[in-house]
């Protein structure tokens, strides 16, 4: 009897709770970003400390600040550098990483375990250890202030390999065997069978790689010393330096502008993630 | 280890051949100097004037090209150290006196003593003698030319002071008078000061109200701090006294400037670089403020710190031309124009005395402030101040303000910890 | 014959392995070599044996930063994953447009560069008039100087961290959730299992491999935490770690010793001590996994 009553009322309690928690969490996740947008698009000259900026007050003031920043810094050029840096890195990480992961996850060959073990060990060495030796190497190659200097040293991502191997291990061996019996070559199996299956993981890795390269500060700082190689991070760094005499709106605008391409990238790719999830869902 | 060096040799060889194939084209034409400056010197009007200096210099040296690049504080340091490591240093570059020792130790800064001495007396006499001394750790070693500099100033929000019933025409002459005014501000429900125990420079600024150059900095011969316990006791007591009056934000926080502009904060002890922000607020939202010397314990003494940005020359193949360019931008005519544009004090004393420059109040006040202020981290170019030194000063000052130590015990503890840190 | 059979495998891993050997393995080995040397990246290295390691272990900052790191990972990794799992389960309970909206909202912080997150949160944590203190004020509570109170600093960092990373882990876990066959839940429902029992007995075990990935990656990256505490404390190469070194972490100290004090040999030695810690923690994870598999 009690069980019956519980089943009658609990769905509504559950629903109310579900909605409350979901909305609360959404507010916490989004509000800081909303707040920053409000700081940018607000009446100029009003200090943040007496006006906590719960909504935007002036679109034109924000656009004016954006205009000033674009005029005074090479922000647009930095966008281009950052986009090239990210896109090339993503392409390389996905291509080289998936090819290697394909072998490590699905086949056995002499030395497989030991080579994979070494790569995994390297995953645990903090980049701060290798940054100076890698920098010296890049300088010796004559790659300072060049796109290849920015991109190439980061292409062999141990993390990407680890992640793709984890996902590819779930692919049933029968599937590979069946494809082989159908007469598919090694490369064809990789390209037509395995890659489509781990599209989901590839998209996730692409997003992660994008975030890492877009937010990467130290490496571009060392390699791209001349202004025509400045990334967005470096431009923002100039505004964020503690003794910068910029006001809050300007600093926040410079920061917000850095987030615009990731936000666009995210909106574009969110659908891809959903598709990927849906695909693997029907499979299960 | 042999394997590693072999591997290194092998890869280096391989890379060298690749590098050779890639190079070649760039260096055929005339000389190009790379010139690195602080990021705010490479934006807006400041950049325009820098480019004008470059154009003037290039006019006298046909075929020379000079690329100016702006970088933030830490980015300059990282870039210069990395540049020294990979032999890609900029030819002329800026940084702060406080990282001079590191830059000299990696050979980024070349010893310019001979070149300096070869300059005519009329040039050498233009500079502030103390600033030149800071660049010259030993009689035959000189690493920099002083560029822009600062002495801390006391920025006063006049609206806040009036609201608190303080007579703003009466500038506090001593710490006691100043502290009385702070208490009045607090009584009016406003903030008197930022939290001065949060960053090293603001601790140093308050130290300057009691102490002086003879009991500040590090004695590198004995690896001991020169901080005097009785002076530090007095200074720590000031921090304890100021606890209820402060805003909880640091001297450098964006938030502190924001409070000042919002008429919530009465005093801000800081360098002159905040002035453009405050001036803009004065024009746009009627902020009423002025700047004065930081009061000291006695009427004839003033607190605060001073330091200089420096211009260094790297030991590369274009060293002579780089030096010539460095002397051009630091000479009286250029430093005068530079000071006029930015309303910023700099190390060229002759330029500061020029009537057109001296008519700017911010500069005259800065010239005064520099006379009294203590150096931030003396002596320069001798040893690298370890991070534990700076951290200890701040931590003990803060802990004492929080009530963990009495002023006397805090001073004792600080000095003993500083000496341990220096011994490491 | 033997080689011919395996050649395609080696060819496929060759591009990755070549880049890896040049730009990772070689720098790691040379870093390892420099960790036994007094080296400022410019002058020739001078062999000093274990002196760098000894010096670091003896320094007072080492114990402090390791303690901070321990406290940090013990809280941030489980908490972050718990929050992410909660969000994933929550989103899984919505369908259509709302699932889309909530998932989108929770993922938003992930796409922001970390310098941006730190800049925003510095304002949120500001004393007296920061957003958080303003809210405390509504309940009549006194202002807290969050980023300058040695007791609260690390929790402030953890909050930012969870805020920034929960969305990413949520997406991964969500993908795992979608892969659990619905028949399992139906069978459980027929057996009369409650929602909670379904989570404990079906969801979590079925998520095992995905959870393992999320936890392991979370641990490895948490142990290399750098930019958020660096920016939250307003650090620079010469002073870092915040008040009382309460937000000092190993990688921050490495950067300071490297670019601040120009002792790259010491920084490298520090890095390998940290590597050792990471290897031990990761090994522990693998041992735990095989132990739980066997059970």
Answer yes or no: are the C-beta atoms of B178 and B193 closer than 8 Å.
no
Interface test with B, best of C127, C260, C261, C264 (most B CBs within 10 A): C260
pLDDT-derived band at B21 (thresholds 50, 70, 90) equals very low
Q: DSSP readout, A106-171?
A: H---TTHHHHHHHHHHHHTS-HHHHHHHHHHHHHHTT-TTSHHHHHGGGSS-HHHHHHHHHHHTTS
Of the candidates A46, A132, A245, the beta carbon closest to that of B40 is on A245
Residues of C in contact with B81 (CB under 8 A): 41, 259, 262
pLDDT at A9: 53
B3 vs A125, A171, C265, CA distance in Å? Answer: 21, 41, 19
Looking at chain B, the domain(s) classified CATH 3.40.190.10 span: 31-143+307-372, 153-304+380-423
In angstroms, what separates the C-alpha of B68 from chain A's closest C-alpha? 9
Encode pLDDT of B365-384 as tens digits: 999 999 999 999 999 999 99
Q: Which residue has the higher pLDDT, A243 or C231?
A: C231
Q: Check C272 against A124: CB less than 8 A apart.
A: no
**Closest listed residue to residue B263, CA positions, set B338, B159, B334, B360:** B159
CA distance B277 to B256: 12
Q: Quickly name the fold that domain C59-294 has.
A: MetI-like fold (1.10.3720)
Under DSSP, is residue B376 helix (H, G, I), strand (E, B) or coil? coil
- In this predicted structure, the answer to whether residue A2 has a pLDDT above a threshold of 60 is no
Residues of A in contact with B45 (CB under 8 A): none
Helices (H), B225-318: 229-242, 254-261, 275-285
Q: Check C31 against A130: CB less than 8 A apart.
A: yes
Whether the CB of C30 is below 8 Å from some CB of chain A: the reply is: yes
pLDDT-derived band at B334 (thresholds 50, 70, 90) equals very high
CA distance B240 to A99: 64
Superfamily of domain B31-143+307-372: Periplasmic binding protein-like II (3.40.190.10)
- In this predicted structure, the answer to whether residue B19 has a pLDDT above a threshold of 70 is no
**Closest listed residue to residue A235, CA positions, set B334, B39, C191:** B39
pLDDT-derived band at A10 (thresholds 50, 70, 90) equals low
pLDDT at A137: 95
Residues of B in contact with C51 (CB under 8 A): none
Q: Look at the alpha carbons of B230, B232, B236, B241 in this order and tell me if their dihedral is positive or negative.
A: positive
Q: Check A156 against C278: CB less than 8 A apart.
A: no
Q: Check A225 against B79: CB less than 8 A apart.
A: yes
**Residue B91 exposure: Cα atoms within 13 Å on the Cβ side:** 21
- In this predicted structure, the answer to whether residue A11 has a pLDDT above a threshold of 80 is no
- In this predicted structure, the answer to whether residue B30 has a pLDDT above a threshold of 80 is yes
Q: B24, exposed or middle or buried, with CB in 10 Å at 0-12, 13-18, 19+?
A: exposed
Q: Check A241 against B78: CB less than 8 A apart.
A: no
Which two tokens mark A268?
Answer: 């574009």
Q: Which residue has the higher pLDDT, C119 or B418?
A: B418
What's the mean pLDDT in B410-419? 96
pLDDT at B162: 96
Mean pLDDT of chain B: 90
Residue of B nearest to C232 (CA): B253
pLDDT-derived band at A245 (thresholds 50, 70, 90) equals low
Which two tokens mark A158?
Answer: 């141990």
In angstroms, what separates the C-alpha of C241 from chain B's closest C-alpha? 9
% of residues, chain B, pLDDT over 70: 93
The residues in C 260-289 lying below 8 A from A, measured between CB atoms, are 264, 267-268, 271-272, 274-275, 278-279, 282
Q: How many Cβ atoms sit within 10 Å of the Cβ of residue C196?
A: 8
Q: Quickly name the fold that domain B153-304+380-423 has.
A: D-Maltodextrin-Binding Protein; domain 2 (3.40.190)
- In this predicted structure, the answer to whether residue B143 has a pLDDT above a threshold of 80 is yes
Residues of C in contact with A231 (CB under 8 A): none
pLDDT at B316: 85
Under DSSP, is residue C226 helix (H, G, I), strand (E, B) or coil? coil
pLDDT at A3: 44
Encode pLDDT of C36-87 as tens digits: 999 998 889 999 999 999 999 998 889 999 999 999 999 999 999 999 999 9
**Closest listed residue to residue A33, CA positions, set B55, C105, C151, B351:** C105
Of the candidates C13, C168, C251, the beta carbon closest to that of A103 is on C13
Of the candidates A25, A109, A124, the beta carbon closest to that of C278 is on A124
Which two tokens mark A51?
Answer: 């006006």
Residue of C nearest to B80 (CA): C259
**Closest listed residue to residue C108, CA positions, set A37, A267, A254:** A267
pLDDT at A276: 52
Answer yes or no: are the C-beta atoms of B164 and B184 closer than 8 Å.
yes
pLDDT-derived band at C101 (thresholds 50, 70, 90) equals confident
In angstroms, what separates the C-alpha of A134 from chain C's closest C-alpha? 6
Encode pLDDT of C194-205 as tens digits: 888 888 888 888
Interface size, chain B vs chain C, as Cβ–Cβ contacts under 8 Å: 99
- In this predicted structure, the answer to whether residue B15 has a pLDDT above a threshold of 80 is no
Least confident of A270-279, B144-153, B361-370, B378-387: A270-279
- In this predicted structure, the answer to whether residue C113 has a pLDDT above a threshold of 60 is yes
Q: Check C143 against B248: CB less than 8 A apart.
A: yes
Answer yes or no: are the C-beta atoms of B207 and B201 closer than 8 Å.
no
- In this predicted structure, the answer to whether residue C129 has a pLDDT above a threshold of 80 is no
pLDDT-derived band at A49 (thresholds 50, 70, 90) equals low
pLDDT at C203: 83
Give bridge partners of residue B86 from the DSSP assignment.
none
Residues of C in contact with A100 (CB under 8 A): 12-13, 15-17
What's the mean pLDDT in B129-157? 95
Encode pLDDT of A204-217 as tens digits: 788 888 888 998 88
Whether the CB of A186 is below 8 Å from some CB of chain C: the reply is: yes
Encode pLDDT of C241-274 as tens digits: 998 899 999 999 999 999 999 999 999 999 999 9
Encode pLDDT of A87-128 as tens digits: 999 999 999 999 999 999 999 999 999 999 999 888 889 888
Q: Domains in chain A, ordered, with CATH?
A: 2-68 (no CATH), 73-283 (1.10.3720.10)
Residue of B nearest to A71 (CA): B44
The H-or-E segment that residue B219 falls in is strand B218-219
Interface test with A, best of B254, B273, B285, B342 (most A CBs within 10 A): B254
pLDDT at B115: 96
Residues of A in contact with C133 (CB under 8 A): none
Residue of B nearest to C22 (CA): B11
Q: DSSP readout, B16-44?
A: HHHHHHH-SSGGGSS-EEEEEEEGGGGSH
Residues of A in contact with C116 (CB under 8 A): 36, 236, 255-256, 258-259
pLDDT-derived band at B12 (thresholds 50, 70, 90) equals very low
Answer yes or no: are the C-beta atoms of B41 and B63 closer than 8 Å.
no
- In this predicted structure, the answer to whether residue A8 has a pLDDT above a threshold of 60 is no
Q: Please give the backbone phi and psi of residue B92, each rounded to the nearest 5 degrees, phi first.
A: -130, 130
- In this predicted structure, the answer to whether residue B16 has a pLDDT above a threshold of 50 is no
B119 vs B125, B284, B311, B323, B327, CA distance in Å? Answer: 10, 47, 16, 11, 9
**Closest listed residue to residue A219, CA positions, set A80, A89, A73:** A89
Of the candidates A200, A208, A242, the beta carbon closest to that of C175 is on A200
% of residues, chain A, pLDDT over 90: 40
What's the mean pLDDT in A24-34? 92
- In this predicted structure, the answer to whether residue B9 has a pLDDT above a threshold of 80 is no
- In this predicted structure, the answer to whether residue B160 has a pLDDT above a threshold of 50 is yes
Whether the CB of C21 is below 8 Å from some CB of chain B: the reply is: no
Q: Where are the domains of chain C?
A: 59-294
pLDDT-derived band at A271 (thresholds 50, 70, 90) equals low
Q: How many Cβ atoms sit within 10 Å of the Cβ of residue B20?
A: 10
């Amino acid at each position: 009897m009690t069980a019956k009553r519980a089943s009658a009322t609990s769905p509504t309690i559950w629903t109310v709770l579900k909605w409350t928690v979901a909305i609360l969490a959404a507010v916490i996740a989004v509000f800081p970003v909303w707040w920053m947008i409000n700081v940018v698009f607000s009446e100029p000259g009003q200090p943040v400390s007496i006006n906590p900026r719960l909504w935007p007050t002036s679109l034109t003031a924000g656009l004016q600040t954006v205009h000033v920043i674009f005029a005074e810094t090479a922000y647009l050029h930095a966008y281009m550098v950052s986009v090239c840096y990210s896109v090339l890195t993503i392409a390389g990480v996905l291509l080289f990483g998936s090819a290697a992961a394909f072998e490590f996850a699905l086949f056995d060959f002499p030395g497989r375990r030991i080579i994979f073990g070494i790569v995994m060990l390297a995953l645990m060495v903090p980049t701060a250890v290798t940054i100076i030796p890698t920098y010296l190497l890049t300088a010796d190659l004559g790659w300072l202030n060049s796109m290849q200097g920015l991109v190439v040293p980061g292409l062999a991502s141990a993390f990407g390999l680890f992640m793709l191997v984890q996902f590819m291990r779930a692919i049933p061996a029968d599937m590979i065997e069946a494809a082989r019996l159908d007469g598919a070559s090694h490369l064809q199996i990789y390209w037509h069978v395995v890659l489509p299956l781990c599209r989901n993981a590839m998209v996730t890795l692409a997003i992660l790689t994008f975030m890492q390269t877009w937010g990467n500060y130290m490496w571009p700082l060392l390699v791209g010393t001349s202004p025509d190689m400045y990334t967005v991070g470096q431009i923002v760094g100039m505004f964020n330096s503690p003794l910068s005499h910029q006001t809050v709106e300007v600093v926040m605008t410079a920061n917000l502008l850095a987030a615009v391409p990731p936000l666009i990238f995210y909106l574009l790719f969110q659908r891809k993630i959903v598709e990927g999830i849906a695909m693997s869902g029907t499979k299960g | 280890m042999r394997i590693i060096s072999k591997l290194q040799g092998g890869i280096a060889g391989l890379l060298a051949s690749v590098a050779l194939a890639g190079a070649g084209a760039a260096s055929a034409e005339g000389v190009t100097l790379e010139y690195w400056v602080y990021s705010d010197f490479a934006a807006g009007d400041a950049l325009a004037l820098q480019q004008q200096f470059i154009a003037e210099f290039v006019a006298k040296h046909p075929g020379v090209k000079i690329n100016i690049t702006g970088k933030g504080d830490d980015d300059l340091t990282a870039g210069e150290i990395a540049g020294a490591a990979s032999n890609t240093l900029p030819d002329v570059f800026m940084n702060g006196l406080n990282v001079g020792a590191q830059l000299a130790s990696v050979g980024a800064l070349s010893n310019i003593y001979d070149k300096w001495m070869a300059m005519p007396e009329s040039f050498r006499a233009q500079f502030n003698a103390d600033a030149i001394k800071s660049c010259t750790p030993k009689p035959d070693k000189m690493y920099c030319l002083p560029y822009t500099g600062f002495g801390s100033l006391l920025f006063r929000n006049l609206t806040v002071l009036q609201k608190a019933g303080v007579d703003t025409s009466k500038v506090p002459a001593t710490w006691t008078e100043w502290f009385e005014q702070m208490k009045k501000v607090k009584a009016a429900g406003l903030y008197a000061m930022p939290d001065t125990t949060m960053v090293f420079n603001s601790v140093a600024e308050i130290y300057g109200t009691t102490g002086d150059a003879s009991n500040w900095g590090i004695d590198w011969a004995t690896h001991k701090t020169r901080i005097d316990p009785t002076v530090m006791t007095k200074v720590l007591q000031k921090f304890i006294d100021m606890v209820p009056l402060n805003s909880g934000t640091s001297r450098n926080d964006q938030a502190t400037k924001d409070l000042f502009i919002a008429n919530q904060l009465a005093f801000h002890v800081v360098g002159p670089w905040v002035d453009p922000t405050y001036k803009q607020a004065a024009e746009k939202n009627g902020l009423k403020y002025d700047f004065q010397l930081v009061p000291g314990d006695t009427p004839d003494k003033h607190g605060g710190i001073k330091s200089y940005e420096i211009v260094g020359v790297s030991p590369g193949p274009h060293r002579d031309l780089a030096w010539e360019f460095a002397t051009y931008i630091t000479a009286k005519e250029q430093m005068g124009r530079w000071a006029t544009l930015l309303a910023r004090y700099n190390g060229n004393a002759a330029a500061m005395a020029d009537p057109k420059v001296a008519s700017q109040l911010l500069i005259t006040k800065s010239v005064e402030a520099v006379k009294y202020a203590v150096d931030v981290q003396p002596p320069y170019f001798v040893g690298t101040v370890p991070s534990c030194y700076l951290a200890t000063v701040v931590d003990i000052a803060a802990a004492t303000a929080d009530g963990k130590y009495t002023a006397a015990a805090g001073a004792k503890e600080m000095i003993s910890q500083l000496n341990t840190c220096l011994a490491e | 014959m033997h080689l011919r059979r395996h050649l395609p495998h080696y060819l496929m891993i060759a591009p990755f392995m070549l880049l890896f050997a040049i730009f990772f393995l070689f720098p790691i080995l040379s870093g390892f070599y420099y960790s036994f040397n007094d080296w400022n990246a410019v002058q020739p290295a001078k062999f000093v044996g274990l002196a760098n390691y000894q010096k670091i272990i003896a320094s007072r900052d080492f114990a402090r930063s390791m303690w901070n790191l321990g406290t940090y990972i013990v809280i941030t990794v489980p908490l972050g994953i718990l929050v992410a799992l909660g969000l994933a389960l929550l989103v899984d309970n919505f369908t259509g447009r709302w699932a889309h909206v909530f998932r989108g909202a929770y993922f938003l912080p992930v796409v922001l560069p970390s310098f941006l997150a730190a800049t925003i949160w510095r304002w949120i944590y500001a004393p007296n008039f920061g957003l958080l203190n303003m809210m405390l004020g509504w309940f009549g509570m006194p202002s807290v100087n969050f980023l300058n109170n040695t007791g609260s600093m690390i929790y402030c960092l953890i909050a930012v961290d969870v805020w920034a990373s929960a969305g990413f882990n949520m997406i991964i876990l969500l993908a795992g959730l979608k892969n659990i066959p619905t028949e399992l839940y139906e069978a459980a429902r027929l057996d009369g299992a409650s929602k909670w029992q379904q989570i404990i007995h079906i969801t979590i075990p079925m998520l095992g491999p995905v959870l393992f990935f999320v936890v392991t990656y979370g641990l490895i990256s948490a142990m290399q935490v750098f930019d958020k505490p660096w920016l939250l404390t307003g650090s620079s190469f010469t002073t870092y770690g915040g008040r009382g070194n309460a937000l000092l972490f190993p990688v921050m100290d490495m950067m300071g010793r490297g670019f601040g004090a120009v002792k790259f040999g010491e920084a490298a030695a520090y890095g390998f001590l940290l590597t050792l810690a990471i290897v031990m923690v990761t090994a522990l994870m693998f041992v735990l996994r095989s132990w739980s598999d066997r059970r």
